Chains A and B, each alone.
Chain A
Amino acid sequence: TQLLEQSPQFLSIQEGENLTVYCNSSSVFSSLQWYRQEPGEGPVLLVTVVTGGEVKKLKRLTFQFGDARKDSSLHITAAQPGDTGLYLCAGVDSGGYQKVTFGIGTKLQVIP
């Protein structure tokens, strides 16, 4: 069974601070995805990274896929209260269909 470990599990920061969330696995994935989930809603896909070493930016969010395709990080610059939510990393294998393994998530609270 492939496992994804996320750290930290909880993060409470002040508005304007920077933060990094980590996602690690002992297994190699075809791609890695990051989702954000708000209370009472399903996860929403933020980004998919496919190539080892790949870096993608989405406004103040920067996503990186490790060279060995086993780990990833999400960096948020100048966090805003609207960034509050549960951030989930997910490893994807494509063996006939998109088999996704989710991490436990990082619960982020940005205090105004």
Chain B
Amino acid sequence: GAGVSQSPSNKVTEKGKDVELRCDPISGHTALYWYRQSLGQGLEFLIYFQGNSAPDKSGLPSDRFSAERTGGSVSTLTIQRTQQEDSAVYLCASSLAPGGVTDTQYFGPGTRLTVL
């Protein structure tokens, strides 16, 4: 079956430009997460969406980062005025239902962002 897909797989941009990263979760999954994986760092939580509820944005590193989830499905992570320290792999994950300690998050392949 179709898993979580992300696009683009690679993005190279110049410092100061805006970028949009897209995530298509598994159909029927109500919970969606964004993470950032930098070289030498673990996965860092960015934002969480659940249905029509207000997202948990507590992990967003600055106000240059924002995310939307339209119609409870596709999500877009936007980084404005990109900086070199934003270079990382951005991973999206979805799960069937929130909250359970044994719930499984399914990850997409990620978008590798390089800011020159």
* A residues apposed to B, CB below 8 Å: 4, 30-31, 40-45, 48, 50, 88, 90, 92, 94, 96-105
How many Å lie between the Cα of A91 and that of B113 in the bound state? 26
How many Å lie between the Cα of A42 and that of B4 in the bound state? 10
- How many residues of chain B get a CB closer than 8 Å to chain A's CBs? 27
Residue in B43, B93, B102 whose CB lies within 8 Å of A48: B102
Instruction: Describe A's contact surface by its main secondary structure.
Output: strand
Most chain A beta-carbon neighbours within 10 Å: one of B31, B50, B93 = B93
Determine if A97 and B109 form an interchain contact, defined as CB atoms under 8 angstroms apart: no
Q: Does B72 contact A (CB under 8 A)?
A: no
Instruction: Describe B's contact surface by its main secondary structure.
Output: loop
Instruction: Please indicate the chain B residues that have their CB under 8 angstroms from the CB of A92 in the complex.
Output: 101
Instruction: Please indicate the chain B residues that have their CB under 8 angstroms from the CB of A48 in the complex.
Output: 101-102, 104
How many Å lie between the Cα of A41 and that of B100 in the bound state? 25
Residue in A44, A97, A105 whose CB lies within 8 Å of B42: A105
Residue in B44, B45, B91 whose CB lies within 8 Å of A42: B91
- List the B residue with the shortest CB-CB distance to A41: B109
Q: Does B40 contact A (CB under 8 A)?
A: yes
Residue in A41, A98, A104 whose CB lies within 8 Å of B103: A98
Instruction: Please indicate the chain B residues that have their CB under 8 angstroms from the CB of A88 in the complex.
Output: 42-43
Q: Does B48 contact A (CB under 8 A)?
A: yes
Determine if B43 and A98 form an interchain contact, defined as CB atoms under 8 angstroms apart: no
Determine if A97 and B101 form an interchain contact, defined as CB atoms under 8 angstroms apart: no
Q: Contacts A44-B107, A105-B42 hold; do A97 and B93 have CB atoms under 8 A apart?
A: no
Q: Does B70 contact A (CB under 8 A)?
A: no
